[in-house]
Structure 1
Amino acid sequence: MGLFDKLKKAFGVQEEKPQSEQSEAIKENQADEQVAIKQPELEENQDKTTLKNEETSNQADVTVDEVSEVATEKTVDTVENKATEEVTSVNEQNQAQNVAETQRYYHGLTKSRDGFGAKINALLANFRSVDEDFFDDLEETLIEADVGFEMAMKISEELRNEVKFQNVKQKKDVSNVIIEKLVNIYEEEGKSEDSQLHFAKQGPTIYLFVGVNGVGKTTTIGKLAHRYQTEGKKVLMAAADTFRAGAIEQLVEWGRRVNVEVVHKEEKSDPAAVVFEAVQKAKKENYDILLVDTAGRLQNKVNLMNELEKIQRVIVRELPEAPHEVILALDATTGQNALTQAKQFGEVTKVSGIVLTKLDGTARGGIVLAIRNELHIPVKLVGLGEKMDDLRDFNSEEFVYGLFKGLVTQD
């Protein structure tokens, strides 16, 4: 089942499940009724004492065997029941977590969903027929919805072909086909995508964070430090953005809030020296994770490239497998500007994943579609709110559900 089919099923009213418990209940009642009522009565007026003793002895033996057998059965039943209860409890907890995660995405993408829906509805308000004027308006609408130029062109072309096969004429059919094409292209582009954060097999895991000033990079680091520390990991942060005024103090304050140590030096220190000290400390003191903040001065890409290259050389010299992730922080509220930043940073360093911040505060959630389609860099983290635990691992199905719920109509 494709992602769009799952969406239609999720958005539709589920059929009532047939109630077939009655037959099983009847069987249980009948089984309960078939209980032995009486034990055989002892024979009266037994003449021989020896015979009576033998019978008593035999009965005692049988009773011991029966008690042992019953005790064994009860023990097995108790173990099985306890195991079943534990599995049920785990399943219920997982189900509750899944529901909670779905609600996070649904509420976090309210602005994007409303904005996207408004644009689609505005397009269809003047709908007369699927002609060239309609396709021109569709391309413009999708570009305005921040899905990206390339995806807008793809959807327009595929919709042209779909019209021929499905004879699409109704508004709801046109809307469904548009959403279906968006979802299918998004799903196809992500098949080889690795959206998981990777950890070191041995020694500390190092995540290097890059991104321009003001996108929420330092806040993301602080929230991620809180998450891993809550999970029981030993976490360290490094303030390697030594040139931006207040950057060091900001990360130190986050360290105080989440009770995580921060390696830092005075302003305008060599960023690579900060990272070297942090990596040494992480290795010697057996830290699990080191999160490194860096500068984001894109206005001078040459200096930034040299700085990041030096930092990475220091890391690789100390830990050849590191950094395990180079995460680019992008502000979702900037729409297509975020796409431009991603392309520029891709020229400066090899980005392994993206954290999309402030996704809950923008109507430009469609930028996720453009990032996957045009950059082929996986979104690994998203910011869905201001709370400490609102930084979430990116879930593509939950994202699509949150973005398009209410726009897909049932047949």
Structure 2
Amino acid sequence: MTPSDREATGLLTRPGDLVQLLDQAGTRHANPDFDPWVADVDTDALAALHRDMVVVRRLDAEATALQRQGELGLWPPLAGQEAAQIGSARALDDEDFVFSSYREHAVAWLRGVQPVELLSVWRGTAASGWNPYEKRMAVPQIIIGAQSLHAVGWAMGAKWQGDEHVAISYFGDGATSEGDVNEAFVFAASFDAPVVFFCQNNGWAISEPVGLQSKQPLARRADGFGMPGIRVDGNDVLAVLAVTRWALDRARRGEGPAFIEAVTYRMGPHTTADDPKRYRTDDDLAAWRERDPIARLHALLAASGADMAAVDADAKAAADRAAADLRAAITNIPDPEPMSVFDHVYAEPNSHLERQKSRYARYLAMFDEEGDR
């Protein structure tokens, strides 16, 4: 039996609470409110979560290396945030719709996005990497916080059509200071939209610490919009899975939006163009390395009596395959045809777009004429 909304919401109203089922050492702690939401997670499921996190960390490392080698123009690393992304994405139904920022590579992986599709935008060979309707995930949004509005719009439409599925919007702590996000909160709360706002509070909005933006936990901001806010240990994949399931279930039953603040840490730079040593200390980084989400789950598996040799071998093999596929595919991405820049701009043709296409075609033709001389 799942916990009632009253029980779960009661937990949220105490300032400073942080939902945690798995501590830093990998020890499992009872939580009567949220244990029922992960009662089905057995040792095999834990091993699968571990494998997911190992794979996406490897893919992230490969993409970072590819950028350093000149194969990508830029890359936004996710290292350290694997539990927040894997735990929340595993809670979704296949038909739920994801609206993400540019760092949710692990979420995309679980939605069936191929590694090379993740990299095409950062290589400059595509304006977007995949068909959103096939993956049930919008392509990454670069404009900070804009995806929250898109998620609410989709959710409102789904509700009016009688669709039982839920939208989830991912953004960082810095985005909570953006107008778009706050406007999304207003509309979602006003119309009881079936949407979950998932904030990965990784400590830094590029080089600005989260404490500069908010004197209170970010989850408390939900109070002013009339929706529940909950803080969860973002490096605890079990707690993230439980809390996200709770929020999704609430939305499906017509109870409206919820705000999740997953407290985690960005181990690497904001992007590969950033130097985090300019604004944070080695001691701070070392302290968070002790809270590594993969090591934490690994310790729980070992304590649960899992065959760790098999668990490690399975995760390594999956990561090696994904990395090899990525390396093999990246240099074989074809350059796009110049005129393809006009594809998928509008749902239907229009005269404005046709004029632009005609002018651009004439511009390109000039280069052919010069080559003939």
- TM-score computed with the length of structure 1 as normaliser: 0.28
Question: Bigger radius of gyration, 1 or 2?
Answer: 1
